[in-house]
Structure 1
Amino acid sequence: MPDLLVRGVDEAIVKALKERAGRHGRSAEAEHRAILAAALLGPRKRSFAEVLAAMPDVGQDADFERVQDSRVAPRVFD
């Protein structure tokens, strides 16, 4: 398995990595591997268009029409 060396990391980041590793009960090196795997191999975020395309085509357009009561003035500023 290849090695990865990261130089010039800010001390605050190293400290945060060690603290996070401690909370998860693993070494800083194991925590670093887990963070890299989650960031690079985790599920890909879907675009807004993909989310919309995945929505089921249900209901009628009239179901989603805006109903405005003409007896109540619209509130612009509160």
Structure 2
Amino acid sequence: MATATVTSKGQITIPAQVRASLGLDTGDRIEFVDLGQGKFAIMAATHSVKDLKGLIRKPAKPVSIEDMNQAIAEQGSRAE
């Protein structure tokens, strides 16, 4: 298990094993995600929204704004 010590300034050094596992490099950002019950997950936050381009395929047929609004309205009426 990797451990770190908090300095008087509230800083820690992330152990090399953890940095390697997260793919972190100098200047990268991380996020602390509250899992509840005093537990947190550390996630690399180095990727921009632009990195998501191409992850989702375009629909086979275009969807109109009216169709989207109708789907939202139907889903909203079921949630109540």
TM over 0.5: no
The structure carrying a bigger strand percent of its residues is 2
Greater per-residue helix proportion: 1
TM-score of the aligned structures, taking structure 2 as reference length? 0.30
Q: Please, what TM-score do these two structures have when normalized by structure 1?
A: 0.30
User: Larger relative CO (CA 8 A, sep 6+): 1 or 2?
Assistant: 2
Which one has the largest radius of gyration? Answer: 1
